[in-house]
A = this chain, B = another copy of it.
Amino acid sequence: MNDEICRNISLTSLRRLPSYLRYLKTQRDNGIDYLSSIIIAQAMELSPMVVKKDLSIAIKVEGKPKLGYHVDSLIKDIEMFLGYDNKKDAVLVGVGSLGKALLSYEGFKNYGLNIIVGFDKEVNEPAILDKKILSIDKFSNLTKRMNIHIGIITTNKEAAQEIANMMVEAGIKAIWNWAPVKLSVPEDIVVKNEDLAASLAVLSNSLSDHQIGGSI
């Protein structure tokens, strides 16, 4: 599709990059300077070839024969590729239990995501930790003014589509959807569905008679 400079990174490779990153950081903190694909593969329970392939596609840094990859450079490269270097601001709509959890989840800042503020129809609390909760009326105005392009939907399924429409209107380009519905959006808008039911299906299936092959 887009065959210019950018290499063709597969979805499966892309999903593995964050776990490489986690592993590399722990090793760096242990004082390790170089890591080979073989060592990384062992730790991640993958084949070395998968690791080499993933890194060769996503990364510019070249590994040194006999030594492996320079850990620091590798981390920087992966972070740059994933866009973790420039913090991305996001807004969240639906401050129920799930919304609160995401608002208070500390881990996102490690991944370059910064949830600025939460919105809801009725504001019961002024803030979750340091994140303010605002009325949904203020969504469009604030989002446009702050030039935010990522929206997180943690409403119930009934409200989700309406919120999505509002987000699109307000200039949101990527939606992380936690509501169990299929959203209809213009095709230039990216939607990533976090489908808890699908995850459960995989787990549940593993416990029944007809397992799928391989690991999950």
Contacts and interface: CB of A to CB of B under 8 A. Distances in A.
A107 B16 CA distance: 28
Nearest to A21: B197
A44 B182 contact: yes
A146 interface: no
Interface size range on A against B: 35 or more
B150 A203 contact: yes
Contact of A14 (B83, B207, B212): B212
A203 B211 contact: no
B190 A203 contact: yes
Copies in the complex: 2
A121 B98 CA distance: 22
A30 interface: no
Interface stretch (A3-11, A64-72, A137-145, A160-168): A3-11
Interface in A163-216: 173-174, 176, 180-182, 190-214, 216
A22 to B, nearest CB: 6
A113 interface: yes
Given A8-B213, A174-B203, A197 B97 contact: no
B44 A180 contact: no
Contact of A191 (B88, B104, B181, B216): B216
A196 to B, nearest CB: 7
Interface string A1-30: 110011111110011111101110000000
Contacts of A207: 83, 88, 149-150, 173-174, 190
A182 B62 CA distance: 26
Given A7-B210, A97-B100, A174-B207, 6 more contacts: A23-B182, A81-B205, A107-B180, A107-B197, A173-B207, A190-B206
15 contacts: A9-B205, A11-B216, A15-B195, A15-B198, A18-B195, A19-B198, A22-B181, A43-B182, A83-B204, A83-B207, A105-B196, A108-B196, A111-B201, A191-B216, A192-B199
